[in-house]
Structure 1
Amino acid sequence: MRGPDDLIALVRGYNPRTDEGLLRRAWSYGEAMHAGQMRRSGEPYFTHPVEVARLLAQQHLDDATLVTALLHDTVEDTRASRDEVEAGFGREVADLVDGVTKLTKMELAGGGDEQAENFRKLFMAMSRDLRVILVKLTDRLHNMRTLRHMPPEKQAKKARETMEIYAPLAGRMGMQWMREELEDLCFAVLNPVARRSILRRFATLEAASGDVIARIGEDIETVLARAGIAAEVSGRIKRPFSVWRKMEQKEIGFSRLSDIYGFRIVTRGAAATDDCYRALGAVHRRWKAVPGRFKDYISQPKSNGYRSLHTTVSGRDGKIVEVQIRTQEMHEVAESGVAAHWAYRDGVRAGNRFAVDPTEWVAQVSKAFDEASSHEEFLEAVKLEMYVDQVFCFTPKGDVIKLPRGATPLDFAYAIHTRIGHRTVGAKVDGMRAPLWTRLRNGQQVEIVTAEASAPQATWIDIVATGRAKAAIRRALKAERRAGHVRLGRELARVAFAAAGRNATEKAFRAAARPLGYDDAEHLLAAIGASEVAASRVIEALWPEAADGAADAEAPVAAAEAIIGPEAGTEFTRAPCCCPVPGERIVGITYRGDGVVAHAIDCPRLADFAEQTERWVDLHWHPGRHPARYAVPLEMTIANDAGVLGRICTSIGLAGANIADLRFEDTKPDFFRIAADVEVRDVEHLHAVMQAVEIDADVAALRRIRAAE
């Protein structure tokens, strides 16, 4: 293993201001922490962090990221702690190391709630600092390069996770070179036979055709030179997995596959962007363009910042080749993706104007987690965002709408606005009516036809391709189902209330919601409509007396035995100031000639006897069933309308209580204020009676009169 000088020399090539001392200290600390640890290959374990740091240095990353790479396994695999790392290398490095450590412990493959939660943590880490994912992706790349030393079953598990999660994520971060290499490394593990077959075909092709790449490259250079365009030309044969995927997608054999060669033209000079289009014209004049294979990602860049012109032509000897044309700045973004946002040049951040900070995308995906009604929906939305390429379509006004490949006019409508999507009834593609399930292609103009009365259909879920559209449709369908359940529940409740001689009012539903475990009346009605709770349960919750009379079979407590505590033969009475009822805590106060008077424990009048503790008596209500004989004064304000008072008196009677006295305290043209002494069994009965009165729509206020009120 080489020493820190090689790494420092690599870094100084793009960052002369690098903190050489910091890198040396990180190297020494990491090497000491991993001392004695070995990889399965037999190499010292510290060779892995060093290679991760070298790969990041090749992407021109800053010192903090390189130090994180050197230390990224110390907290997880050695006796080092986060506090120790922070003390030695600062808060920034400690946060980055901590972020990478947490990602390493996550299981991102598989499915279910745990995977969804781990994805959420992944995107939270990315939103805090994107360098965490850069280190993690590079860590995974080096592990995949050395995977052959692992047991076969672990190789397969790592390869599947990488193919499913890390390779698409690298692509979404704009690091296409890393995505392609990760995919090919996984391909070698998961389908080695197919990969070896393609490599043999490559060898056969090269033996038959010679060095085709060099010859075609020279042809392109000659054409550009004649056009006076300064550019650098490079070519390569495509990776085995890329070839295999195209064979699978097009369902064709290797012999029928055309564009297995790819060439890149990187223009230089002051007019580099203009030279891209000039180079495209020169290539098309020299070779025949393949129809339908041109893409302009310069005028319409991908969301990860990728810009380039793509064309496919029939080159030397009829060979079909793909040509990508871009400027040097565009090339840096195409190669490094998000890393270009952090890259350094001459000791300062490079500041590439085409580099995109994907925090907006990360925030969008994180929002999807919050909006999704289930973990499955969230995982679906994330994978749709990660796995697809893009097409660019136009509105009739010329606005560009970016969509994933395979998107439909419905996706287009929801991309404009959720309201437009909900009201869609048809679409025109390039001026012609088209089914809503039509797969859109680059450059098409789409016009959405809407109607106010339209609503999403359940079949739309299978038509759309974007997570945004799927989530919006599911929410709308769920809301519609809920509205239907509420309507049905209201009708079922109305019938049940009418059969019991009650009025089905909103106040009644609100009062019943809490006892039955629902947040509000709408949730309760939806549950009734969905057959989750019977309407009769609502009546039982509001009027327990109507449920059944089984409790009446229990022998009532005699009046003389209602209170336990006074000496035998001592008479007792209820204090008129608080009128306590069974179920409430009570205390007695003795009076000469009057026996014991029972007060509620919170009665304000007890303060008058605070200094006369000898008069206090500990009292308890008999635990049995009491008859409805305890009068409690209530004050109610009711509407001055015909039949209101009679209806309220009926409600009190149906609740099993008796009105002992009724007094009109105040009369107004619109309201009466009435005082009524209602006889109840206990405190629960009192609450039931008050609830039966209060739920009447014409009762404006109701309260129990206590003490000196």
Structure 2
Amino acid sequence: MQTIDSLDADLRSYLDDQQSTLVRRAYYFAEQAHFGQQRRSGEPYVTHPLAVAGILAGMHMDHQSLMAAMLHDVIEDTGIDKDAIESQFGEAVAELVDGVSKLTQIEFDTLEEKQAENFQKMALAMARDIRVILVKLADRLHNMRTLGVLPTAKARRIAKETLDIYAPIAMRLGMNSVRMEFEDLGFTALYPMRARRIEAARRSARGNRIELVDKMRSQIENALAQDGYEATVIGREKHLYSIYQKMRAKKKSFSEIMDIYAFRVVVDSVDSCYRVLGCIHSLYKPVPGEFKDYIAIPKANGYQSLHTVTMGMHGVPIEIQIRTREMEDMANNGIAAHWLYKTDSDTVNGSHARARQWVQGLLEMQQRAGNSLEFIENVKIDLFPDEIYIFTPKGNIMELPRGATAVDFAYAVHTELGNTCVACRINRRLAPLSEPLQSGQTVEVITASGARPNPSWFNYAITAKARSNIRHYLKHQTQEDAAALGRRLLDKSLASFELSIAELSDARLSSYLDSAGLANVDELLAELAQGKRLPGVVASQLAGETNTEGPTPQPGSDSPLAIRGTEGFMVSYARCCRPLPGDPIAGYISSERGVIVHRERCRNLADMREKPEQWIPLRWDDQVDGEFLAELRIETENRRGAIATIATRINSMNVNIDKISSTDKDYQFTYVDLDLHVESRVHLARIMRRLRSIDSVRRVSRVRN
């Protein structure tokens, strides 16, 4: 067990005497604060903060981080507050301790909500000082190492949270050693029997492999020595959780996973990395397509290395990683290595800059999230990046998770670009926004000034930034749309009493809002648009408030509401009859969906005429903006390329096809069904005339329900 004296000896190897003394002083303060407290194992509580500081010392963290590690439970578990720590050890240490401390003073409805709020608080503290997460990771690592003394249910809950959140965070920050230990400890706690079986199999395989591993290591070392390279060759062993995940994901047996031998070659310079790669490829034949250059294009967490797979003796596949000593430290300690290699307080290396960029992204997501649970879901999405690398038209590189689409790319470049994108070019080829991107592609986003996010993007946007921005925009836009439509609906109903919203006094409105239990006028207007309240009833009540003799509707109250096409999500167009500008229309108010517009003769509208309180007469405005879906059925001869001819003719008119399908009528004729985006009934008629001029087309008709 570590003592303050053994820790002090380690610290003096890289900290000066004054800094080491400050860390020792923080230890004595924590020892006094936690006096009488014990861990569940029976040890004095201060052994925990001492062990956490020891983990950070192993990463060569700075003295303020070590002091915060000593004090990280003082605010939470003792009567000492943040101000007392600040007066003793300074503002920076107090902020670190406060950032790591949980929200103990607030009562939460569920455990999930409590975890989410705590993580959100920590993320905000990370934005101020990235060292908060390093102290938290060290704290969690020691807790995982001592998980055995906890009740099984609690141990499993902590292990699951570690695998879900903290292991991916360690990976995102490039702290590979911490991440692997988190995964193995979490796996052992969650699935003890599986862990024991895999560990036993690994030990057995290790014994069988020793001779071959030694031979291959000697071959590599001798080849490098002959060419004059000074290099350290290390045999790598897969850790338990990695073996388990590969067996599950790739549906492979243990022997298939362990058939691959892995080595790491550590050299003195970047130039030597590439020279050693050539030397190894002359020794063993490389497997085509298996070379990855993470030195030229580092991973999102700053990881750098050359990866290659070769065929060794007896046809055994060998994975080889080649990197410098600094890259090796960065790979193991990630952002923590920033403090090891920092020469100037203003210097920020690549790993540290990327971590700050990621934390800044967390902050942006937090501001846009509706609540802490939504925020933590976004973070979980963001924490599992199997990266691809995409080029912008100017040659810049963007890192995205595998499976990302052009929508994710657009939001990664800039929020406004994402909000206004309508199409994309992938390697100069027009492509749908939903097409998954591949590494090395060049993507150009096409925007339109009036465009806005589409709810269907949720089906293929996978990055947290894209999804949170789409959700935020739609939520904000829906509220604006609802308020605007609600105002028009209420004004129309009030017109029958020769009133308008503007003419209602503040006192009358306030009185009605209080009686209805509404916070403000916007909430009332939104409920009207969403169909939760009926405009006629509300208008009658408001008019009754202003007229003591009771409301008297005036003639002409059934004047239709004008539909402009710009009402947003609070006005929807029935799929059964697909109304277009120029069609006679009517509609009704539906709960949650607002106003539903139908063609006047639509069969589905007949039942609604019997509910006058929901019925609403409609007309098209003189200036209608936007595109509307129309459905056509084309009867065409069974000729080669007939459908392609139809699609080309429509494309020549700059009309977008939303959906196309075909069914055979008989051996001679085929039905082609099209969903098109058109501006009006006149526009549709023009398209139908052009389609009838195709030789193979026999009949074109608009589909009616």
Which residues of 2 match residues 301-312 of structure 1 at below 5 A? 301-312=298-309
Task: Report what 1:241 is aligned to.
Answer: 241
Task: Report what 1:225 is aligned to.
Answer: 225
Task: Report what 1:59 is aligned to.
Answer: 59
Task: Report what 1:326 is aligned to.
Answer: 323
Which residues of 2 match residues 313-392 of structure 1 at below 5 A? 313-343=310-340, 353-357=349-353, 358-392=355-389
Task: Report what 1:7 is aligned to.
Answer: 7
Task: Report what 2:624 is aligned to.
Answer: none
Task: Report what 1:189 is aligned to.
Answer: 189
Which residues of 2 match residues 463-542 of structure 1 at below 5 A? 463-478=460-475, 481-482=478-479, 485=482, 488-489=485-486, 491-502=488-499, 504=500, 517=513, 525-536=525-536, 537-538=538-539, 540-541=541-542
Query: AA paired with 1:381?
Result: N
Task: Report what 2:439 is aligned to.
Answer: 442
- Output the CA distance in 2 between the equivalents of 1:547 and 1:251: 78
In 1, are the aligned partners of 2:100 and 2:122 still within 8 Å (CA)?
no
Query: AA paired with 2:274?
Result: Y
Task: Report what 2:391 is aligned to.
Answer: 394
- Output the CA distance in 2 between the equivalents of 1:488 and 1:91: 52
- Output the CA distance in 2 between the equivalents of 1:535 and 1:136: 54
My pick for the range that moved more, 239-248 or 358-367, is 358-367
Per-residue deviation, 1:242 = 0.8
Name the SS for the 2:276 alignment partner.
helix
* TM-aligned CA distance change 1:113 to 1:21, over 3 Å: closer
- Output the CA distance in 2 between the equivalents of 1:343 and 1:112: 36
* TM-aligned CA distance change 1:451 to 1:72, over 3 Å: closer
Query: AA paired with 2:172?
Result: R
- Output the CA distance in 1 between the equivalents of 2:322 and 2:421: 39
Task: Report what 2:587 is aligned to.
Answer: none
* TM-aligned CA distance change 1:86 to 1:213, over 3 Å: farther
Task: Report what 1:549 is aligned to.
Answer: 550
Query: What TM-score does the superposition give when structure 1 sets the normalisation length?
Result: 0.68
1:282 aligns with 2:266: no
In 2, are the aligned partners of 1:408 and 1:436 still within 8 Å (CA)?
yes
In 1, are the aligned partners of 2:260 and 2:316 still within 8 Å (CA)?
no
| Unmatched 5+ stretches in structure 1 | 551-709
In 1, are the aligned partners of 2:385 and 2:400 still within 8 Å (CA)?
no
Query: What TM-score does the superposition give when structure 2 sets the normalisation length?
Result: 0.68
Name the SS for the 1:266 alignment partner.
strand
In 1, are the aligned partners of 2:11 and 2:20 still within 8 Å (CA)?
no
Task: Report what 2:153 is aligned to.
Answer: 153
Deviations 1:118-158 (A, max 9, x none): 22201122123222322221121112112122222222122
Query: AA paired with 2:101?
Result: T
Deviations 1:175-199 (A, max 9, x none): 1110111011000111122222222
Per-residue deviation, 1:350 = 11
* TM-aligned CA distance change 1:534 to 1:201, over 3 Å: same
Task: Report what 1:565 is aligned to.
Answer: none
In 1, are the aligned partners of 2:294 and 2:306 still within 8 Å (CA)?
yes
My pick for the range that moved more, 384-393 or 315-324, is 315-324
Which residues of 2 match residues 245-284 of structure 1 at below 5 A? 245-257=245-257, 261-268=261-268, 272-284=269-281
* TM-aligned CA distance change 1:468 to 1:305, over 3 Å: same
* TM-aligned CA distance change 1:394 to 1:418, over 3 Å: same
In 1, are the aligned partners of 2:284 and 2:311 still within 8 Å (CA)?
yes
- Output the CA distance in 2 between the equivalents of 1:138 and 1:419: 38
Q: Which protein is bigger by CA-based radius of gyration?
A: 1
Task: Report what 1:410 is aligned to.
Answer: 407
* TM-aligned CA distance change 1:548 to 1:254, over 3 Å: farther
In 2, are the aligned partners of 1:306 and 1:334 still within 8 Å (CA)?
yes
In 1, are the aligned partners of 2:173 and 2:351 still within 8 Å (CA)?
no
| Unmatched 5+ stretches in structure 2 | 552-705
In 2, are the aligned partners of 1:238 and 1:261 still within 8 Å (CA)?
no
- Output the CA distance in 2 between the equivalents of 1:370 and 1:453: 25
* TM-aligned CA distance change 1:237 to 1:166, over 3 Å: same
Deviations 1:593-639 (A, max 9, x none): xxxxxxxxxxxxxxxxxxxxxxxxxxxxxxxxxxxxxxxxxxxxxxx
* TM-aligned CA distance change 1:344 to 1:12, over 3 Å: farther
Query: AA paired with 2:124?
Result: M
Query: AA paired with 2:330?
Result: V
Per-residue deviation, 1:529 = 1.8
Count matched residues. 546
Q: CA RMSD for the aligned pairs?
A: 3.7
Query: AA paired with 1:393?
Result: I
- Output the CA distance in 2 between the equivalents of 1:294 and 1:105: 53
* TM-aligned CA distance change 1:436 to 1:80, over 3 Å: closer
In 2, are the aligned partners of 1:171 and 1:179 still within 8 Å (CA)?
yes
In 1, are the aligned partners of 2:493 and 2:539 still within 8 Å (CA)?
no
Deviations 1:197-255 (A, max 9, x none): 22232233223333444333333323333443333222221101011112222222223
Query: AA paired with 2:382?
Result: E
In 2, are the aligned partners of 1:342 and 1:349 still within 8 Å (CA)?
no
Per-residue deviation, 1:455 = 4.8
Per-residue deviation, 1:59 = 0.7
Task: Report what 2:582 is aligned to.
Answer: none
Name the SS for the 1:338 alignment partner.
helix
- Output the CA distance in 2 between the equivalents of 1:512 and 1:260: 79
Deviations 1:426-470 (A, max 9, x none): 445445565544433322233445566755432320211112211
In 1, are the aligned partners of 2:403 and 2:436 still within 8 Å (CA)?
yes
